[in-house]
Amino acid sequence: MADLFRLSASEAAARIREGKLTSEALVRSCLERIDSRESQVKAWVHLDRDFALAQARECDRSASRGPIHGVPFAAKDIMDTADLPTEYGSPIYKGNRPAADAACVALSRAAGGVLLGKTVTTEFASRVPLGNTTNPHNPAHTPGGSSSGSAAAVADFMVPLAFGTQTVGSVIRPAAFCGCVGYKPSFGEVSTQGVKQNTASFDTVGLFARAVEDLALFRAAVTGFAAKPLGAIPVNELKIGFCRTMLWDRAENYTKTFLKEAASALAKAGAKVSDFALGKPFEHFEAMGRRINDYEFSRGLTWKRSHHWNLLSEFQRDKLSAWLNVSYEQYREAEAVLEQCRRHLADSMKDIDLLLTPSALGEAPVGLSSTGDTSFNLLPTWTYTPCITLPVFTGPSGLPVGIQLIGHRNQDHRLLEAAQAVYRVFSKST
Catalytic positions: 76, 146, 170
Reference 72, options 89, 85, 60, 82; nearest CA is 60
Give a three-class secondary structure readout of the chain. Answer: CCCHHHCCHHHHHHHHHCCCCCHHHHHHHHHHHHHHHHHHHCCEEEECHHHHHHHHHHHHHCCCCCCCCCCEEEEECCECCCCCCCCCCCHHHCCCCCCCCCHHHHHHHHCCCEEEEEECCCHHHCCCCCCCCCECCECCECCCCCCHHHHHHHHCCCCCEEEEEECCCCCHHHHHHHCCEEEECCCCCCCCCCECCCCCCCCEEEEEECCHHHHHHHHHHHHCCCCCCCCCCCHHHCEEEEECCCCHHHCCHHHHHHHHHHHHHHHHCCCEEEEECCCHHHCCHHHHHHHHHHHHHHHHCHHHHHHCHHHCCHHHHHHHHHHHCCCHHHHHHHHHHHHHHHHHHHHHCCCCCEEEEECCCCCCCECCCCCCCCHHHHHHHHCCCCEEEEEEEECCCCCEEEEEEECCCCCHHHHHHHHHHHHHHHHHHC
* Angle formed by the axes of helices 49-61 and 23-41, nearest 10°: 160
- Does residue 399 contact residue 137 with C-beta atoms inside 8 Å? yes
Amino acid code (one letter) for 428 = K
